[in-house]
Structure 1
Amino acid sequence: MALSLDIITLGVPQVEAARTFYASAFSSAATGDDHTAGLDLNGTGRLAVDQIEALATHAGTKPATSGFRGYVLSCIVDRPAEVKALLDTAAANGATVVKPAKKALFGEFAAVYQAPDGAVWKLAAATKKDTEPVPDPPQPTETAVFLGVAKPKASKAFYETLGMSVDRDYGDKFIDFTIADGVCRLGLLPRKGLAKDAGVDEHGDGFSALVLTHTAPSRDDVDTLLAAAASAGGRVTTPATQTDEGHYAGHFTDPDGYHWRITTHP
Structure 2
Amino acid sequence: MATTASTTAHTFLASVTLEVADPEAARRFYTAFGVNTHIRLQASQAPSTGFRGFTLALTVSRPTNVDHFVDAAVDAGATVLKPAAKSLWGYGGVVQAPDGTTWKIATSARKDTGPATGEIDEVVLLLGVEDVKATKQFYVAQGLSVSKSFGGKYAEFASGQSSPLKLALYKRRALAKDLGVPDDGTGAHQVILGSTNGTFTDPDGFVWESAA
* TM-score of the alignment, normalized to the shorter chain, above 0.5: yes
> How far apart are residue 183 of structure 1 and its match?
4.4
What is the alpha-carbon root mean square deviation over aligned residues? Answer: 1.4
CA deviations 1:67-108 (Å, max 9, x no partner) are 10000110111000110110011001110000001111x222
1:123 corresponds in structure 2 to 105
Say if 2:52 is the partner of 1:69.
yes
* Aligned match for 1:151, one of 103, 122, 131: 131
Cα deviations across residues 27-73 of structure 1 (Å, max 9, x unaligned)? Answer: x6xxxxxxxxxx42xxxxx30111113xxxxxxxxx11111000011
Q: State the distance in 2 between where 1:215 and 1:15 align.
A: 25
Higher relative contact order (CA 8 A, sep 6+): 2
Do structure 1's residue 195 and structure 2's residue 187 form an aligned pair?
no
Number of aligned residues: 203
Q: Structure 1 stretches (4+) deviating beyond 3 angstroms?
A: none
Provide closer, same or farther for how the CA distance between residues 126 and 179 of structure 1 changes in structure 2, counting only shifts above 3 A.
farther
Q: Which residue of 2 aligns with 1:59?
A: none
Q: Which amino acid aligns with 1:176?
A: E
What SS class does the counterpart of residue 168 from structure 2 fall into?
Answer: strand
Kindly indicate whether residue 16 of structure 2 is the aligned counterpart of residue 8 of structure 1.
yes
1:89 and 2:72 correspond: yes
TM-score when normalising by structure 1: 0.73
Q: Deviations over 1:208-257 (max 9, x none)?
A: 010001245xxxxx3xxxxxxxxxxxxxxxxxxxxxxxxxxxx4210111
Percent identical among aligned pairs is: 38
Give, as a single letter, the amino acid of the residue that structure 2 aligns with 1:12. Answer: V
- Say yes or no: does 1:111 pair with 2:93: yes
Tell me, in whole angstroms, the C-alpha distance in 2 between the residues paired with 1:113 and 1:134.
Answer: 19
Aligned counterparts of 1:12 and 1:72: Cα–Cα separation in 2: 15
2: CA distance, partners of 1:130 / 1:183: 23
Give the corresponding residue for 1:254. 202
1:173 offset after TM fit, Å? 1.0
Question: 1:206 — aligned with what?
Answer: 187
In 2, are the aligned partners of 1:5 and 1:183 still within 8 Å (CA)?
no
Unaligned runs of 5+ in 1: 29-38, 41-45, 54-62, 217-221, 223-250
Tell me, in whole angstroms, the C-alpha distance in 2 between the residues paired with 1:163 and 1:253: 14
Please give the alpha-carbon distance, in whole angstroms, between the structure 1 residues aligned to 2:158 and 2:200: 22
> SS of the residue aligned with 2:106?
strand
Structure 2: gaps of 5 or more residues: 1-8
- Please give the alpha-carbon distance, in whole angstroms, between the structure 1 residues aligned to 2:90 and 2:166: 18
Shift of residue 126, structure 1, vs aligned partner: 3.5
Q: Deviations over 1:146-177 (max 9, x none)?
A: 11111101111011111211122111111111
Amino acid at match of 1:188: L
